[in-house]
Chain A
Amino acid sequence: MAPVAPRSGDAIFASVERVNAELFTLTYGAIVRQLLTDLEEVEEVNKQLDQMGYNIGIRLIDEFLAKSNVARCVDFKETAEVIAKVGFKMFLGVTASVSNWDADGTCCSIVLEDNPLVDFVELPDTCQGLYYCNVLSGVIRGALEMVSMKTEVTWVRDMLRGDDAFELQVKLLKQVPEEYPYKDDE
């Protein structure tokens, strides 16, 4: 039988190589700072961070699958749980929770109480439109696309903007079937 999917990423987090959390936080800060200098427009920075996240996500998914031993998820609900409980733990060392499901189970919120990317960060007035952690939404979008789920990921709450948590809304747009038929006669 298929191995039972882990319900939390603790064991994997303990077994993979880690880097110093402050080094990680500061490096990410330096990237965002440099993007602000280079691109000048806050909107452009948001877009660039999302693109960078996407590029990371399409590669990261394989590492996630290789090291976490999760089996294929039966539905999008399970997918969201696995991202929040196993994925976030494995790569960021924090656990997120999933809430706010809509009626047909295609849209939910992933809520992060704790986010290592934003330790030490205060948004200045000039950067009010910045989604500082936009790289995360890109990562999720990229990773899910590689397992044939087209999604749209947006920020709903952001602690840097005065909210009480980080909340990402993940919306499943469509599930691309994996079969090959690619009809010959079309």
Chain B
Amino acid sequence: MAAIYSLYIINKSGGLIFYKDYGSAGRMDTNDSLRVASLWHSMHAISQQLSPVAGCSGIELLEADTFDLHCFQSLTGTKFFVVCEPGTQQMEALLKVIYELYTDYVLKNPFYEIEMPIRCELFDFNLSQTVQKDCVALLGR
């Protein structure tokens, strides 16, 4: 079974540009995933303002009873977040790898318009390989 439930990418204005779920848990329809994305975008922005820490860059990890949510925001404002089984390790590293895949296979695709939903086969392919590798590594321990 997969430890990662789903992956979201949201652009800097809060629109969901990529959503993928893995496995059966926490599966959502299109409307719900859009709702989660825009909710997270606003919560992230609010957390930045409310944080007592100076220069806070927003929530990085949300822990709940049934899932963990790890978020990574690039300096350009694009947010990547994964929802996974509680206690899953090394999600920050995975998000960094996904960011690199995004720069390689999405932004370098001349037919991709920036800020628009991602429909790039090469990205899908490399992403699923990365996630699979990650799951194998997790199961191996």
User: Hey, which bits of chain A sit against chain B, CB under 8 A?
Assistant: 58-63, 65-67, 72, 146-147, 178-180
Contact = CB atoms under 8 A, between A and B. Distances in A.
B100 interface: yes
Nearest to B41: A180
Chain A CB within 10 Å, residue with most, of B75, B100, B107, B108: B75
Contacts of B74: 62, 65-66
Interface string B100-117: 101110011000001000
A66 B114 contact: no
B75 A65 contact: yes
Contacts of A72: 75
A27 B99 CA distance: 28
Contacts of A179: 48-49
B103 A67 contact: yes
Ranked nearest first, the 8 interchain pairs of A and B with the lowest CB-CB distance are: A63-B103, A59-B107, A66-B100, A62-B103, A66-B99, A146-B76, A66-B103, A180-B45
A146 B11 CA distance: 12
Nearest to B101: A66
Contacts of B104: 63
B45 A62 contact: no
Contact of B78 (A62, A67, A178): A62
B96 interface: yes
Contact of A59 (B77, B99, B100, B114): B114
A63 B109 CA distance: 13
Interface of B: 45, 48-49, 74-78, 96, 99-100, 102-104, 107-108, 114
Contact of A61 (B45, B76, B102, B108): B76
Contacts of B99: 62, 66
Contacts of A59: 103, 107-108, 114
Chain B CB within 10 Å, residue with most, of A61, A66, A72: A66
Nearest to A143: B76
Contacts of B107: 59-60, 62-63
Contacts of B45: 180
Contacts of A147: 75-76
Contacts of A65: 74-76
Contacts of B78: 62
Contacts of B48: 179
23 contacts: A59-B114, A60-B107, A62-B74, A62-B78, A62-B103, A62-B107, A63-B100, A63-B103, A63-B104, A63-B107, A63-B108, A65-B74, A65-B75, A65-B76, A66-B96, A66-B99, A66-B102, A67-B100, A67-B103, A72-B75, A147-B76, A178-B77, A179-B49
